[in-house]
Structure 1
Amino acid sequence: MKRQAINPANDWGARFEMNQAEIISEFNEIIKFSGQTSIIADNNSEMGLSVKYPNDQKKQMEFILNTIDNLLYQAKMSRNNIIHISFYTTDMEGFLESYEVYSNWIKEAGVRPTQSAIGVNQLVMPDMKLEIEITGAR
């Protein structure tokens, strides 16, 4: 896969580990993730599911990024295959405070995927603060 970053002259996105745009070429496959959350199996709950780290966005971010690593591994891919990431949060201020977790995680891969951070009123469960979608290619 070949990547060509497209950024404004001042490249302000670099400090957020993101490109404003990328041309992706010479790839064979795309992987598209469903929204990843901090939901875990819980036989004691009515739905059989609960939120890991309720209302703690930083811990939820760490948990979700670990899940993404595991899914990428199963697909025989890694973080450097990520070409876009979308964050959905019910607490933008909390998201920005915990953004360093993501920034350090993606910096290890040496890529700056395009990204979107979208504030929403509610996610699937009330204690859930964050959902992350990934698109990758190889």
Structure 2
Amino acid sequence: MTRQLLSSGSPMEKTFGYSRAVVQDPWVFMSGTTGYDYETMQIPDDVLQQTRNCWKTIEHYLKEAGSSLKDIVRVTYYATDEADAEAISRVCGEILHDIRPASTFLVIKSLFLPEMKIEIEVTALKGSA
């Protein structure tokens, strides 16, 4: 089995020694993904938009890995404010409605940067859908 490392090109990946995703066929292991908007190069204030941005990035790299959202078998959510849980869940439910992977939702004190409100980590099994 060949291991494929996917990178966004972020200098943080090299500094911290991680990849955006690791493909070890038939598995795809996605690093925690925050609500960073790569088109504007900013993190929006709105937790709903941050959550949508997470999924946009996740979908992009799953596709690059030869996979899709439908192949997600495990998801972990990290939120910094319990009050955001309902809004985050609503967006995630729209995206994962029929996929229904195993999941864990954690409320934590903080993420790497204070403006980050949500981080999503997924594992996908290619061809599982």
**TM-score, with length taken from structure 2:** 0.71
RMSD between superposed Cα atoms in Å: 1.6
Alignment of 1:73-84 (within 5 A): 73-84=63-74
> Are 1:86 and 1:116, in contact at CA under 8 Å, matched by a contact in 2?
yes
Alignment of 1:101-120 (within 5 A): 101-107=91-97, 110-120=98-108
Pair 1:29 & 2:20 matched: no
Q: Distance in 2 between matches of 1:90 and 1:96?
A: 13
User: Which residue of structure 2 aligns with residue 52 of structure 1?
Assistant: 43
2:115 paired residue among 112, 127, 130: 127
Q: Taking every aligned residue pair, what percent have the same amino acid on both sides?
A: 25
Q: Distance in 2 between matches of 1:98 and 1:38?
A: 11
What is the identity, as a one-letter code, of the residue corresponding to 2:115?
A: D
> Are 2:36 and 2:50, in contact at CA under 8 Å, matched by a contact in 1?
no
Q: Distance in 1 between matches of 2:70 and 2:29?
A: 14
How far 1:115 sits from its partner (Å)? 0.3
Structure 1, unmatched stretches of 5+, are: 1-27, 42-49
Q: Distance in 1 between matches of 2:99 and 2:34?
A: 23
* Equivalent residue pairs, number: 100
**TM-score, with length taken from structure 1:** 0.67
Q: Which of 1 and 2 has higher RCO (CA within 8 Å, sep 6+)?
A: 1
> Are 1:33 and 1:135, in contact at CA under 8 Å, matched by a contact in 2?
yes
Structure 2, unmatched stretches of 5+, are: 1-24
User: Which residue of structure 1 aligns with residue 19 of structure 2?
Assistant: none
Q: Distance in 1 between matches of 2:88 and 2:100?
A: 18
- Structure possessing the higher radius of gyration over alpha carbons: 1
Alignment of 1:51-70 (within 5 A): 51-54=42-45, 56-70=46-60
